[in-house]
Structure 1
């Protein structure tokens, strides 16, 4: 009679569950902080090197002290623990670690936070794009992203709807201005139609950015500051970009009629060059006059 051998195989170990997106971000944030800390010499932040330092970079307790946070808390942050990080602490860390604008943006994105002092420059605004805007001075033109942030503009556009240079950089958003800025609003003929079309485009664009803090922050601000926006937004209309005719009432030259055209600066519908070409001879002459006024003011 045969005897079957006893199965002594060890059961396979269960696979570890996949990490969540937030866990991946925390891991990347921890690695980013460690790398930056280890590559900043004490002398760069005004600390003495001393004779017993084992690392060329900063110690954790030094970063914590310079950023006015607890050492234990900062250690947990570098360990990738699931803790809440305020924008004030992130701002302090960015300054302590001497982050440039791109690195600062990266820090806030990894932390899932909205930068309270976003960079005023944008990688999309290359010297070539800037030169195009300057060469088009007699035609109002700007560069916007799909969130309606105005990333750059020429001088004629800067006086078309309001004195844009007087608007804080963090408020230079075409949709926010059209709902909350009195002079900008008064310059738009057919304001109700413009509101509806802009909100519909914003909803369509936001579908691909639903979890991004900057988009959520803008939506929250619009809903908080404008009852008109809340009413339009709750219609759930969606729309796409298309060339169209617009009319403005400019404080310096009066009524102008223009053709709005979007020229995309990349393969995806992100940053775009927005141009307002005159639709008739009278509007052309008035835009040339506005250009002359802009030159005098600069």
Structure 2
């Protein structure tokens, strides 16, 4: 019996045991998380003939908007490609906490597309500094405009930020899709153009990264305004220093914007808003007092 050259090559090629092990770990992890969720937790009826603990495979597929056969292959550790969009959907359907979500993406060899909620630059000392600059609003952002941390005054400046899901706390997303945030920016169109142009300039160094591509795809899908601005191909490295906000609680506030970079590169930065006039200073003090009062009366 003769062996073809192709068969010889196939026999000689080493197996990627690392990838195979990760696929089996991923399959076992998905099964374990599927089996721990009761149908009632996701709004599904239990039924009388349910033998599977937790959710069935077809129910996870339905909740994640993926094919049943494809999801079955995933739990069978088949050698298939998994997109970050599907992993994101699975993490939500299986109600994974942040640690479990990170584990899921590591097993799949993918980069989590959601905003980074845990950033090494946001140390306890930096959080303390955010509190110390109050009543002035301040936050920490990265170059994608994800809001990584903020003080109480900033949390009420443009909207009630605590009511915004962590994955939506991105200044670009909020400026193009969140009604209250948009109505709080006095010169909205100008701000949108500058932010989109600055985002384009930053993205030039991250064109192949899924998290950047996912954010761009989301913005283009959710906002016709963003598509119009983005298609201008404008680029800018810095934005204007003077800003005006129309806060729902204290009225118009005029501030000077300052970026304090937390490293040598254009990565995380501390954004501060210092009042331009006495009236704005008094209104920020009122807003801070309201934020403190809310924090003291909120449960937990």
| TM-score, with length taken from structure 1 | 0.69
- Give the equivalent residue in structure 1 for 2:68: none
Match of 2:272 among 272, 275, 295: 275
Match of 1:181 among 150, 169, 178: 178
Contact 1:243 1:262 in 2 (8 A): no
**How far apart, CA to CA, are the structure 2 residues paired with 1:123 and 1:67?**
38
- Give the equivalent residue in structure 2 for 1:83: 81
Superposition deviation, residue 94 in structure 1: 11
In structure 2, relative to structure 1, the CA distance for the partners of 1:281 and 1:32 (3 Å cut) is farther
| Number of corresponding residues | 243
1:114 aligns with 2:113: yes
- Give the equivalent residue in structure 2 for 1:218: 215
Which structure is higher in helix share?
2
Gaps of 5+ in 1: 1-25, 47-64
CA RMSD of aligned residues (A): 3.5
Match of 1:230 among 223, 227, 230: 227
| TM-score, with length taken from structure 2 | 0.69
1:158-183 Cα offsets, whole Å, 9 max, x none, are 01011111111111111111111111
Superposition deviation, residue 218 in structure 1: 1.4
> Larger radius of gyration, structure 1 or 2?
1
Following superposition of structure 1 onto structure 2, how do residues 131-280 of structure 1 map, counting pairs within 5 Å? Answer: 131-242=128-239, 244-280=241-277
Q: Secondary structure at the match of 2:260?
A: strand
Gaps of 5+ in 2: 1-15, 37-53, 58-70, 296-300
After superposing the two structures, state which structure 1 stretch, 86-95 or 271-280, moved more.
86-95
**How far apart, CA to CA, are the structure 1 residues paired with 2:116 and 2:55?**
22
Superposition deviation, residue 111 in structure 1: 2.8
1:191-224 Cα offsets, whole Å, 9 max, x none, are 1110110000000111111122221121112111
